[in-house]
């Protein structure tokens, strides 16, 4: 379960205030795969970071039960001078999981070949994302935060990533950001729609998609 209590997030840039969320109160049930929908700039990635605990709310709070992943595919916490294998083992120690088991899993899944043992600074952005996805999915969380990550790689890798995600969802929940409605329909069973600082939770995924698509046709507010 993840609950927002009077959650507000506001940015001030160049003297201009932008409201991302304003006094939002709602609950996301446990073991539910939730699409996070909204136009560009609506605050989807910001909300993921707040849920992950890497960004503070302006006011209000987020309460949760169970463990929550960092945003899957985010490689910003990796050390560029360490190899993929070394970064993987470091994270395994932080989260208290078997280092060799996680390393073996990620090496097989991410398909990095010899690069798995080369410094991260030599990786392309796609290689970093595959490594980060493998590390995230190799650790058992109650809720996974997923931000467009399964769009990385060729068709075969995307298929493998989706299959792994679905396997994890048999035991866990997720909050998923994607601009692909076919992917949303494949991965999610409910949705949260962000628009103009408000958030609406829908148990019916198709109702949420219909509202989101309607919002996309309307005028953008500053």
Cβ burial of 16 (10 Å; 0-12, 13-18, 19+) is exposed
Q: Rounded to 5, what percent of the chain is helix, strand, coil?
A: 40, 30, 30
pLDDT digits (tens, 9 = 90+) for 192-221: 999 989 999 999 999 999 999 999 887 655
CA 83 – CA 77 distance, rounded (Å): 13
Angstrom distances, CA of residue 168 to CA of 32, 118, 125, 207, 220: 12, 29, 24, 25, 36
What is the strand order of the sheet 59-64 is part of?
16-28, 2-13, 59-64
Residues in the chain: 222
Q: What's the DSSP call for residue 89?
A: H
CA nearest neighbour of 101 among 85, 117, 116: 85
Strand partners, 2: 28, 64
pLDDT digits (tens, 9 = 90+) for 156-197: 887 888 888 888 988 999 999 988 898 899 889 999 999 989
Instruction: Report pLDDT for 159.
Output: 83
Instruction: Report pLDDT for 13.
Output: 81
Domain ranges of the chain: 1-65+145-151+188-222
Encoded tokens for 160: 């493998």
Q: Which CATH code of 3.40.50.720, 3.30.460.10, 1.10.1520.10, 3.40.50.300 fits the domain covering 1-65+145-151+188-222?
A: 3.40.50.300
Cα 195 to chain centroid distance, Å, stands at 19
Ranges assigned E (strand) in 116-158: 143-147
Question: Tens-of-pLDDT digits for all 222 residues of the chain?
Answer: 999 999 999 998 888 888 999 999 999 999 999 999 999 889 998 999 999 998 999 999 999 999 999 887 666 679 999 999 999 999 999 999 999 999 999 999 999 999 999 999 999 988 888 898 899 889 999 999 988 765 566 778 878 888 888 889 889 999 999 888 988 998 899 999 999 899 999 999 999 999 999 998 876 554
């Amino acid at each position: 379960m993840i609950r927002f209590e009077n959650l507000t997030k506001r940015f001030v840039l160049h003297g201009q205030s932008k409201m991302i969320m304003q006094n939002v109160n709602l609950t996301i049930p446990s073991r539910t795969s939730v699409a996070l929908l909204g136009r560009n700039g609506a605050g989807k990635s910001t909300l993921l970071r707040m849920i992950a605990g890497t960004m503070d709310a302006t006011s209000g709070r987020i309460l949760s039960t169970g463990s929550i992943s960092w945003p899957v595919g985010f490689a910003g916490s990796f050390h560029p001078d360490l190899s993929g294998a070394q970064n993987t083992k470091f994270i395994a120690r932080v989260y208290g999981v078997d280092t060799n088991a996680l390393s073996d899993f990620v090496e097989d899944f991410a398909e990095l070949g010899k690069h798995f043992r080369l410094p991260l600074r030599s990786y392309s952005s796609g290689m970093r994302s595959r490594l980060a996805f493998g590390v995230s999915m190799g650790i058992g969380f109650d809720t996974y935060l997923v931000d467009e990550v399964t769009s990385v790689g060729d068709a075969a890798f995307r298929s493998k990533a989706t299959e792994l995600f679905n396997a994890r969802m048999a035991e866990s929940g997720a909050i998923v950001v994607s601009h692909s409605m076919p992917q949303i329909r494949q991965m999610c069973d409910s949705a949260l729609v962000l628009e103009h600082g408000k958030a609406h939770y829908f148990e019916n995924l198709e109702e949420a998609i219909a509202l989101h698509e309607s919002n996309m046709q309307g005028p953008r507010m500053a």
